[in-house]
Amino acid sequence: MTLIKNKDQRVAVLVDVQNMYHSAKALYKKRVNFKEILKEAVAGRKLIRAIAYVVRTETPEEKTFFEALNKAGFEIKSKDLQVFPGGMKKGDWDVGIAIDAVKLSGQMDSIILVAGDGDFIPLIEYLKSNKGIQTEIMAFDKSTSGKLKEAADGFIDLEKNPRKFLI
């Protein structure tokens, strides 16, 4: 399938903030420019929803970061970081992102998932084959599942333009 991007296309952009944050930090020791990511993802189409999924860790800079995401045009969904006895920490939004994508699929022509996690392969396959949705992945190539890139209709590699997508 050829990736179609026309101005009448209704799009949703779903961002796994933790996934992107850790990838940018590990690969470049920098932060992600979420405002530029949203602009690139929308690409002149009709933005219906832009959701940033975050995990609250109660750090001082967190409030400023969430405000910046909001100002950039994102609706924020947050949950607290779970800390288990023994020190293990868990905080991911994979199921929440998948549920929202399925719920939104009836109103969208394209869903852009900003994450590189291979756990999203079944979601991408479902959206394409059961809902007829164009699926796009935006992430850093080095930290993106090869099978996820193959499953989606399109892949935008943020590594191709680090000056634009990193701060």
Domains of the chain: 10-165 (3.40.50.1010)
Q: What ranges in 34-141 are assigned the alpha helix state H?
A: 34-42, 62-71, 94-104, 121-131
pTM over 0.85, yes/no: yes
- As a whole number of angstroms, the distance between CA 48 and CA 125 comes to 22
pLDDT digit string, tens, across residues 99-149: 999 999 999 999 999 999 999 999 999 999 999 999 999 999 999 999 999
DSSP lists the bridge partners of residue 82 as: 90
pLDDT for res 85:
85
Half-sphere exposure (Cβ direction) of 7: Cα atoms closer than 13 Å: 0
The two tokens of residue 51 are: 């959701």
Token pair of 19, please? 């996934």
How would residue 154 be classed by pLDDT, with cut points 50, 70 and 90?
Answer: very high
In terms of Cβ atoms closer than 10 Å to its own Cβ (0-12, 13-18, 19+), residue 44 is exposed
pLDDT-based confidence at residue 61 (cuts at 50, 70, 90) = confident
